Amino acid sequence: MKTLLKIAGALLICSSAYAQTQISGSGVQIGGSVVGGAGAVTNLCSAVTLSTGWTCDTATGLIKVSTGTPATLTISTIAAGYTTFQIYVSGSSTAATGANVDLQFNGDNSNAYEWLSVVASNITAPANSATIGDTAMKNMCMISAPGPGGAFASGGVITIQNMNAGNNWTHVTSLCTGRDNLIHNFWESSSGAWHPTFAINSITLIADSTSFAANTVFTIYGIQ
C-alpha cells in the first residue's frame, strides 16, 4: 500500500478570512513551506503597519492598493518571534514591459545586500546576473505590465528566512512568473542575503524605476 499523504505534526485549517486553526503537533508542510516548532502560521495583514497607498482587506487577508500607483510598499511594526516570512504577490507594474521588485530591510539602503537572479522567457535563453554590495536586493520577483485586455500579469512568492538572525545572515529566495503586454512569458528565480545587526522589523518592496499598478495585491505570512 502506498502512502499518498503523510502529516507529521501540526494540521492547520484556513478559513475564508485566512484564519488558521492548529489541530495538533508541530511540523507540517503548507504551500511549499515546512512549518516547525510551534507550527504557528499567521496572516499578518491586519497586524502590521502599511505605508501610504496601501490598505489591508480584513475579509480576505490581502494587502491592496488604496490610492494611486505607489512605487513602494513598506511593511513595518513586524512583531518579534517570526523566524520566516513569506510574501505572495500578484499584479503588475505601470511600466510598458515590466520591472523588478527590490527588497530593503529595516530601512537599510547601505551596500549590505547581495543577490543572484536567473531569468528566462519564451523569446530569450536563460541569463543570470549578480551583485555583491548593493543598496537593495534586486530581481526578487518580476512584475509585468498587464497583458492583452488588462489580464493578470505576474505572480510569485518571496521567502525570507532567519528573520531574527541578529548578526547572522538573512537569506531570501523567490520564484516568479509573468506575462507582459508584448505577450512575452517570463520566469525568474532569485536568491539573496542581507547581513543585519538586529532582527527584521520592517520590509520595503520597491517597484524598481516604476510603480505598482492598481491591480497589485500582496499576502504576507509570519511563520514561527
Each residue's pLDDT tens digit, 105-144: 999 999 999 999 998 888 778 888 889 999 999 866 666 6
By CB atoms closer than 10 A (0-12, 13-18, 19+), residue 68 is exposed
In one-letter notation, the amino acid at residue 201 is N
Q: What are phi and psi of 149, to 5 degrees?
A: 75, 15
CA distance 79 to 161: 15
CA distance 21 to 84: 19
Kindly list the domain boundaries of the chain, sorted by start residue.
Answer: 1-39, 40-223
pLDDT one-digit tens code per residue, 80-100: 888 899 999 988 888 776 678
In one-letter notation, the amino acid at residue 37 is G
What proportion of the chain, given as a percentage, has pLDDT over 90?
41
For the cut 60, the answer to whether the pLDDT of residue 6 exceeds it is no
Q: Does pTM top 0.95 for this prediction?
A: no
In one-letter notation, the amino acid at residue 209 is S
The confidence score (pLDDT) of residue 9 equals 42
